[in-house]
Amino acid sequence: MTLTDTTPTDTTPTDTTPTSTTPTDTVAPAKARATSPHLRTLESEAIHILREVAGQFDRPVILFSAGKDSVLVLHLARKAFHPAPLPFSLLHVDTGHNFPEVLAYRDRVVAEGGLRLQVAHVQDWIDDGRLTERPDGTRNPLQTVPLVDTIAAERFDAVIGGARRDEERSRAKERIFSLRDSFGGWDPRRQRPELWGLYNGRHAPGEHVRVFPLSNWTELDVWNYIEAENIALPEIYYSHQREVFLRNGMWLTPGDWGGPTGREVIVRRTVRYRTVGDMSCTGAVESSATDVRAVIEEIIATRITERGATRADDQLGEAAMEDRKREGYF
Amino acid sequence: MSTAQSIDVHELAAELTTSRRLLRFATAGSVDDGKSTLVGRLLHDSKSVLSDTLDAVQRTSRARGLDTPDLSLLVDGLRAEREQGITIDVAYRYFATPARTFILADTPGHVQYTRNTVTGASTADLVVILTDARTGVVNQTRRHAAVAALLGVPHLLLAVNKIDLVDYDRRVFEAIAAEFSAYAAELGIPEVTAIPISALHGDNVVTRSGRIEWYTGPSVLEHLENVDLADQSTTGAVRFPVQYVIRPRSDELPDYRGYAGRVTAGTVRPGDEVVVLPSGGRSVVAGIDTADGPRDLARAGESVTLLLADDLDLSRGDLISGVADAPGPVTEFGATITLLADRPLRRGARALLRYGTSTTRVMVTSIEGLLDIDSLSYVPAPEALALNDIAKVTLRTADPLPVEDYRAGGAVGSLLIIEPSDGTTLAAGMVGDRRAALHPHPISKEATA
């Protein structure tokens, strides 16, 4: 593609003005800011959505896995209600196979921010027989039941997640306010058209609404914003030395969850993670990207979607994600 | 990775992280106009398709016995839709070039075209309407243009597809472009661009075609990259619907009371005199707060927190407005509504109305006329409005609302009618008579060039 010079309008520091003479942004920001107008537009849209949640719902909660998208949602939510405390609590469904570095990061963020975190342990559901361990040891699909049970038990009416429409094809039609029945299920017939900035959060008792403030962000937008805002992430997102073994074409981290087995051999590699889910199905990629800028360049170079590359459970079938969404996973 | 490739990546990374603006656009077309192929081609040729996605498309294409990848598979629907024989209104696609970043609202062309087009185009800066070069401007083409005009979309792009199937004939294209531009001028659409394309072969989609040497205008992507985004919504007095009241009640900030919201129109500065609606209380903007520190100005589209000099006890649903042209609160007003749900809406129906951040009870007191989208005239209204109907109605609300005429983009003057029992969005509406607001203008010679 040819590199077209941006027009003067495109290079003004704010996204909405035809003139650049007004001193809008001459107030020195206290810290790094998203400088590209399109990121500022996405930020304002996400803050608007999060404030709608606070205005329309009684018991909202943020799904917080400490993955980069949920970290970004939390960052935006704290900006949205500054200088007041966050009007949302956090919920993490812990598969029991999470990376220790990620759990440590999660607990640090919660402690430092004075946040309220509730953890639903998949292990508890396995122990009392409500869930059965899968033969392959993968627990990602097992998160749905603890999530839906916890939503019902806590009477959460808005469940805020970091899912993006560009992540996967079945997400392209997801709403920003997505209505779920009392089983957490998603019925395409009941989804409401979303026009203008009017998000309709009304629901019947027992139903809830999943809210996706990052719907319109792409993977590249997320990383560019993380760089601009200087947002800290769990360290496994960046290149490091790690003992791994190969299974189904993915570099997995050994652990109590069930690997390596048989002829699988542990080797030392320079890797990083692109998502930070269940250790049994989240693969590392070989990478020397030690900072955000290097990650951005790597994303552009590889052009492989995060989920396709690193989540084993999405490779089960083309419609795997869609099926899990209808079951209430997302 | 070779050194040469590394340099390319550095350059591309720099290009794709430059400062640039967002263009929201929608695509609309009839069945078989090749819209999926056009969208797939835009994503593919702008190098926005990720390699594993493309691999899947190539595998499926080969399995179906095709020699070249079927790019329409990139925008294939959900299995749930195929099984249930339904189409969910809009699919969103994302791509970026060094010049701009794009959000594409891809609206299905067949069933429920009005609902889908209205939804997809509601926030669009531009609508791409596809037509088949062999059939030219058909009813559906005019309907899409009319819906875009009613919503106030400032730019239309007519993509005359399958130009290869009419042997790249200039006269065919020019006749279609002229007919469409004349219709768009009747609708008062300020800017129309027509482009001859072949989505299948990629002619004039991303790169200009060597096979259509008589055409000297931009490709579809070039037009999307360069169309004027000058925004009128930042001029004039501010509109600021209060979403939420921020009260830290902390030891450091015991008396802080900020009004969180998004500027929907105009600009606001500290010191501006404002009126709070519907109460009518007056105050002065004492400050504009954000998590990044105080601001000395906020424009339409920006989410900020306003501090007022007086203690007026505002809450969600109130509107902070500039005093110059503040709307007067009313309990009865006219609106142009589109039915979005498969439930009839009758005269006398009671529901909830969402306007800005306020929600109040509403009654449809009369249905004055049904808009015939082909003739663009009102016809006598039926007993009950049905899905996809566009009608002129009068609404009466329980509480006074500071409504004002709809403005393009819907940040001002847009509303929802909601079923109270289960929250279904029954209809979307625009304050005022949108048909009467369309102002024909003379055809510009340039428009068809």
Task: Convert the pLDDT of each residue in A46-101 to its tens digit.
Answer: 999 999 999 999 999 999 999 999 999 999 999 999 999 999 999 999 999 999 99
Q: How confident is the model at residue A167 (pLDDT cuts 50, 70, 90)?
A: confident
The per-residue pLDDT for B370 is 95
Q: Which amino acid is at B44?
A: H
Q: Which of B92, B234, B421 sits opposite A165 (nearest CB)?
A: B92
Question: Other C-beta atoms within 10 Å of B383: how many?
Answer: 8
A193 and B425 within 8 Å at the Cβ level: the answer is yes
Is the alpha carbon torsion for B327, B331, B336, B342 positive or negative? positive
Is residue B341 within 8 Å of B393, Cβ to Cβ?
no
The CATH number given to A37-220+321-327 is 3.40.50.620
Q: Are residues B80 and A322, on separate chains, in Cβ contact within 8 Å?
A: yes
DSSP annotation of B241? E
Reading the block at residue B312, the tokens are 């007026």
Spell out which residues of chain B touch residue A17, defining contact as CB-CB under 8 Å. Answer: 231, 234, 299
Checking if the pLDDT of A19 tops 60, the result is no
Going by pLDDT thresholds of 50, 70 and 90, the confidence category of residue B313 is: confident
Question: Is B415 part of any domain?
Answer: yes
Cβ–Cβ gap B52/A308 under 8 Å: yes
Spatial distance between the Cα atoms of B50 and B73, rounded to a whole number of angstroms: 14
List chain B residues with CB under 8 Å of A24: 295-297, 299
Asked if the structure places residue B436 within a domain, the reply is no
Residue B142 lies in a domain: yes
B385 and B262 within one domain: no
Q: Going edge to edge, which strands form the sheet with B91-96?
A: B91-96, B100-106, B21-28, B126-132, B155-161, B191-196
CA distance B433 to B333: 10
The verdict on a CB contact (< 8 Å) between A218 and B293 is no
pLDDT category, A238, cuts 50, 70, 90? Answer: very high
Same domain, B279 and B256: yes
Residue A15 scores a pLDDT above 50 = no
Output the pLDDT for position A16: 36
Does A313 score more than 80 pLDDT? no
pLDDT of residue B168: 96
Give the pLDDT score at B419.
96
Of the candidates B306, B322, B338, which is a domain's last residue?
B322
Q: Is residue B89 part of a domain?
A: yes
| Alpha carbon distance B187, A71 (integer Å) | 47
Question: Domain check: are B77 and B172 in the same one?
Answer: yes
Lowest mean pLDDT among A107-111, A212-216, B53-57: B53-57
Q: The domain spanning residue B304 has which CATH number?
A: 2.40.30.10
For residue B290, is pLDDT > 90?
A: yes
Q: Which of A16, A52, A58, A74 to mutate to test the interface with B (most CBs of B within 10 A)?
A: A16
Mean per-residue pLDDT for B168-177? 97
Which ranges in A59-99 belong to alpha helices (H)? 68-80
Residues B8 and B33 in one domain: yes
Burial (Cβ within 10 Å: 0-12, 13-18, ≥19) of residue B421: exposed
Which residue type occupies B442?
Answer: P
Mean pLDDT, residues B86-111 taken together: 81
Query: Which residues are B160's β-sheet partners?
Result: B131, B196
Domain boundary among B271, B297, B322: B322
Residues A140-164 have a mean pLDDT of 94
3-state secondary structure of B96: strand
Find how far residue B308's CA is from the centre of its chain.
Answer: 33
Looking at the fold, whether B162 and B292 belong to one and the same domain comes out as: no
Which residue does chain B place closest to A223, by CA atoms?
B17
Q: How confident is the prediction for chain A on average, in pLDDT?
A: 83
Beta partners for residue B295, in sequence order: B288
Residue B190: the pLDDT is 74
B404-426 per-position pLDDT tens digit: 999 989 999 999 999 999 999 99
User: CB-CB: which of B19, B98, B293 is closest to A37?
Assistant: B19
Predicted local distance difference test score (pLDDT) of residue A196: 94
Does any domain span residue B315? yes
Clarify whether residues B186 and B257 are in a common domain. no
Residue B420 preceded by cis peptide, ω within 30 = no
Q: Give CA–CA dist B404/B387, Å, rounded.
A: 26
Average per-residue pLDDT for chain B: 88
DSSP B309: S
Q: How many CB pairs under 8 A join A and B?
A: 268
Of the partner residues B88, B93, B122, the one whose CB lies closest to the CB of residue A195:
B122
To the nearest whole Å, the CA of A236 is away from the closest chain B CA by 22
Q: Is residue B48 part of a domain?
A: yes
Structure tokens at A114: 């004075």
Among the listed ranges A26-40, B85-99, B165-179, which one has the minimum average pLDDT value?
A: A26-40
Number of structural domains in chain B: 3
Determine the distance in angstroms separating the CA of B237 from the nearest CA of chain A, rounded to an integer: 15
Give residue A23's pLDDT band: very low, low, confident or very high (50, 70, 90).
very low
Exposed e or buried b per residue across B8-22, where buried means at least 16 C-beta atoms within 10 angstroms of its C-beta: ebeebbebbbebbbb
The per-residue DSSP string of A241-291 comes to EEEEEEETTEEE--BTTTBS-TT---EEEEEEES----TTTB-EEE----S
B284 and B350 assigned to the same domain: no
Out of B53, B206, B409, whose CB is closest to A305?
B53
Chain B residues within an 8 Å CB radius of A55: 243-244, 316, 357
Least confident of A103-117, B85-99, B289-303: B85-99
The answer to the question of residue B437 being in a domain is no
- Residue B115's pLDDT is 84
Q: How far is A141 from chain B (nearest CA, A)?
A: 20
Regarding whether B176 and B47 lie in a shared domain, the answer is yes
Rounded average pLDDT over B29-45: 81
* B46-65: average pLDDT: 75
- Within-domain flag for B134: yes
- CATH number of the domain that B195 lies in? 3.40.50.300
The answer to whether residues B96 and B223 belong to one domain is: yes
Final residue of a structural domain among B322, B357, B391? B322
- A196 or A298, which is more confident: A196
Quick check: B80 pLDDT over 70? no
> Kind and range of the H or E element at A140?
none
Give which of B21, B36, B336 to mutate to test A binding, by max A Cβ within 10 Å. B21
| pLDDT surpassing 70 at residue A323 | no
Same-domain pairing of B128 and B201: yes
Cβ pair A318:B56 closer than 8 A: yes
Taking only the tens place, the pLDDT of each residue in A109-150 is 999 999 999 999 999 999 999 999 988 778 888 999 999 999
Residue A73: is it exposed, middle or buried by C-beta count within 10 angstroms (0-12/13-18/19+)?
buried
Q: Which of B18, B19, B97, B307 to mutate to probe the A interface, most A CBs <10 Å?
A: B19
Distance from A156 to chain B by nearest Cα, in Å? 17
| Residue limits of CATH 3.40.50.620 in chain A | 37-220+321-327
Q: How confident is the model at residue A290 (pLDDT cuts 50, 70, 90)?
A: very high
Predicted TM-score of the model (pTM): 0.89
Same domain for B84 and B112, yes or no, is: yes
Please say if the pLDDT value at position B224 is more than 70.
yes
Q: What residue in A sits closest to B19 (Cα-Cα)? A: A36
**What is the C-alpha to C-alpha distance for residues A302 and A282, in angstroms, rounded to an integer?**
18
Band (pLDDT 50/70/90 cuts) for residue B12 is: low
pLDDT at B45 over 90: no
- Minimal Cβ distance to A200: which of B1, B76, B423: B423
Higher pLDDT, A25 or A290: A290
Q: How many CA atoms lie within 13 A of A39 on its CB side?
A: 23
Q: What is the pLDDT of residue A297?
A: 85
Tokens 């294939």 appear where? B76
Which structural domain range is residue B170 located in? 3-230
**Cα atoms found within 13 Å of the Cα of residue B449, Cβ hemisphere only:** 8
Q: Inter-chain contact A84–B50, Cβ cutoff 8 Å? A: no
Residue B86 pLDDT level (bands cut at 50, 70, 90): low
What's residue B65's pLDDT?
Answer: 84
Confidence label for A267 from pLDDT (cuts 50, 70 and 90): very high
Asked if residue B41 and residue B103 are part of one domain, the reply reads yes
| d(C-alpha A238, C-alpha A215), whole Å | 24
- Which has more pLDDT, A32 or A238? A238
